[in-house]
Amino acid sequence: MMHDDGALAILLYDGAYARAHYAFVMAAGALAIDRPVIMFAAGRGVHALARDWSGLHDAGDDALVRARGVAGMDTLRDAVIELDATLMACEAALKLCDLPAGRLLPGVQVAGVPAFLEAARGRQIITL
């Protein structure tokens, strides 16, 4: 199935704040122009979908980002949720990071790689 609506699938596999922040920038931007988005967090990237995302490397950089007038992680995550992105966290990565599913943002689907790949079928995939 090909998507002719510009649908995106964003794979966030890294636990660095900068990559996670940019993944949400890309998601929010795409959603703002009506491009559907699926974001799949794998590896240490699952921390980006936790209610408390301080498990990201260099999470403290968010204060500098906000001080410079750029949307911070909380603002971006709220926008992506409000604009109806599909958020998925890798089940294996949650286990590896010892992050219980109950600590994820509301609405995050816990899934394996096959479920992500099926959902991403025909979409442009961006990996961060």
- What's the average model confidence in pLDDT over 107-125? 97
Percent of the chain with pLDDT over 70: 97
pTM of the model: 0.94
86: in domain: yes
Structural domain boundaries enclosing 61 = 8-127
80: in domain: yes
pLDDT tens digits, residue range 84-110? 999 999 999 999 999 999 999 999 999
How many domains does the chain fold into? 1
82: in domain: yes
Distance CA 112, CA 87 (A): 13
CB 27 within 8 A of CB 85: yes
CATH number assigned to the domain comprising residue 17: 3.40.1260.10
1: in domain: no
